[in-house]
Amino acid sequence: MVNRINSTAIFSYENLAKVPTKMDTENDVKLKKQTDNFEAFFIKKILDVSLKHDNKFFTKDAGDKIYNSMYNDAISKAMGGKFGFSQMLFDFLKRKT
């Protein structure tokens, strides 16, 4: 008889991304906040490149650059800390200290 492996247990979200439920110290909270901010900065740079609006059929207003930058900033802040890059960086830096 062939033994079957329960793939749902192996590939569950809990096994792939260990998210700490409790921060040990105040420094951990500060470090997590900074890694979330770095992830938001990284996402903003990606959005700035990928969402360039270079359409030659429409004229550019004076506020287009400002509006697009503010939009990308708001989106990146909302998405920061949710992709897992922040958690990986936090875990790496936590081990190093």
Per-residue model confidence as pLDDT tens digits over 17-48: 444 446 678 889 999 999 999 999 999 999 98
The answer to whether position 87 is within a domain reads yes
Domain span at residue 20 reads 7-96
The answer to whether position 1 is within a domain reads no
How open is the CA angle 21-76-24, to the nearest 5 degrees?
20
Confidence of residue 9 (pLDDT cuts 50, 70, 90): very low
Query: In whole angstroms, what is the distance from residue 19 CA to residue 87 CA?
Result: 7
Q: How many structural domains compose the chain?
A: 1
The answer to whether position 27 is within a domain reads yes
Query: In whole angstroms, what is the distance from residue 83 CA to residue 97 CA?
Result: 23
At a CB cut-off of 8 Å and minimum separation 6, what does 68 contact?
51, 53
At a CB cut-off of 8 Å and minimum separation 6, what does 15 contact?
9
Q: What's the mean pLDDT when you consider all of the chain?
A: 77
The answer to whether position 2 is within a domain reads no
Please report the DSSP string for 35-78 in residue order. HHHHHHHHHHHHHHHHT----TTSPPPTTHHHHHHHHHHHHHHH
The answer to whether position 45 is within a domain reads yes
Tell me, yes or no, if the pTM score tops 0.85: no
Q: What percent of the chain lies above the pLDDT cut of 90?
A: 37
